[in-house]
């Protein structure tokens, strides 16, 4: 029973750690994709501004006043050269804008695909973890019944020990030792209770936190990656760490109880 209890809560911790890791990795990938998209948009805006400036310069050159007759040919040649230079710059800028638009479109497509993949993986992970949580809840309910039965058994042993002690004056040392072991078991049971309560409370809190994060992912569709990489994730990791500490203490108490039960079975 105690091994099953430890396995159940440990499984919960591992499942939540895995869930948190998957969420964090997917959030980072989405953040990187958005940064690339924003950089492409900024570059596109700069190129469009450069294109506008080039068009203004060409217009200004074409609208310039005619040169004197004596310098007409050289002025025309100079103007044609300027127009050609500006036209080349304009074509280069247009080509750059086209490439940036293609890159932006590709980045948008990649971002949408990454988001879709992230949502699919998250949904699969959420369904799997929800199934585990339901199974663990069933196991926890069964263990509570078993714990209650165990406590009743200890009470029955105590009554039997009292009866034997009252009817048998011989072997008083042995009876005293049995009494001491029973008292120690009862003390261990009382000391285990706070840990069991703490673990059960954290189990409920972690379940609620995971459901909240699931709702945020569904409503935001991955737009706010910081929701999963900051305080919420730290809170879950801290709760898991505290639960592991409680499990360690509970395991030590269980080991002591197991040794005492073996001693009692030999009496």
Q: Which residue has the higher pLDDT, 44 or 17?
A: 44
Domain ranges of the chain: 2-265
DSSP 227: G
H, E, C per residue of 69-85: HHHHHHHHHHHHHHHHH
CA-atom Rg of the chain in angstroms: 37
pLDDT tens per residue, range 23-60: 666 666 666 666 766 776 676 677 667 767 766 766 66
State the number of CA atoms in the 13 A half-sphere of 117 facing the CB: 12
Give the pLDDT confidence score for residue 222 in this predicted structure: 47
Give the pLDDT confidence score for residue 227 in this predicted structure: 47
Q: Is the dihedral of CA 144, 159, 187, 256 positive or negative?
A: negative
Q: Which residue has the higher pLDDT, 47 or 222?
A: 47
Measure CA of the first residue to CA of the last residue in the chain; give whole Å.
23
- Contacts with 30 (C-beta within 8 Å, 6 or more apart), sequence order: 111, 114, 115, 118, 222, 225
pLDDT tens per residue, range 164-211: 776 665 557 677 888 888 888 889 888 888 888 887 888 788 778 777
Q: Is the dihedral of CA 245, 204, 7, 16 positive or negative?
A: negative
């Amino acid at each position: 029973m105690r091994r099953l209890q430890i396995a159940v809560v440990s499984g919960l911790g591992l499942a939540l750690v895995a869930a948190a890791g998957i969420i964090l990795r997917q959030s980072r990938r989405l953040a990187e994709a958005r940064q690339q998209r924003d950089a492409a948009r900024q570059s596109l805006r700069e190129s469009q501004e450069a294109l506008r400036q080039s068009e203004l310069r060409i217009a200004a050159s074409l609208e310039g006043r005619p040169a004197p007759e004596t310098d007409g040919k050289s002025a025309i040649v100079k103007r044609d050269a300027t127009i050609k230079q500006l036209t080349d710059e304009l074509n280069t800028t247009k080509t750059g804008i086209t490439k940036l638009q293609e890159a932006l479109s590709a980045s948008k497509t990649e971002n949408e695909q990454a988001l879709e993949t992230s949502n699919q993986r998250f949904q699969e992970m959420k369904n799997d973890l929800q199934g585990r949580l339901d199974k663990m809840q069933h196991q926890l309910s069964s263990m509570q019944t078993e714990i209650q039965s165990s406590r009743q058994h200890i009470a029955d042993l105590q009554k039997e020990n009292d009866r034997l002690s009252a009817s048998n004056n011989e072997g008083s040392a042995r009876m005293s030792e049995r009494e001491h072991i029973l008292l120690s078991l009862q003390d261990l049971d009382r000391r285990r209770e706070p840990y069991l309560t703490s673990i059960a409370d954290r189990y409920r809190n972690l379940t609620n936190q995971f459901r909240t994060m699931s709702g945020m992912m569904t409503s935001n569709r991955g737009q706010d990656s910081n929701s999963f990489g900051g305080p919420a994730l730290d809170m879950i990791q801290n709760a898991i760490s505290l639960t592991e500490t409680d499990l360690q203490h509970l395991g030590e108490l269980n080991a002591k109880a197991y040794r005492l039960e073996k001693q009692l079975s030999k009496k």
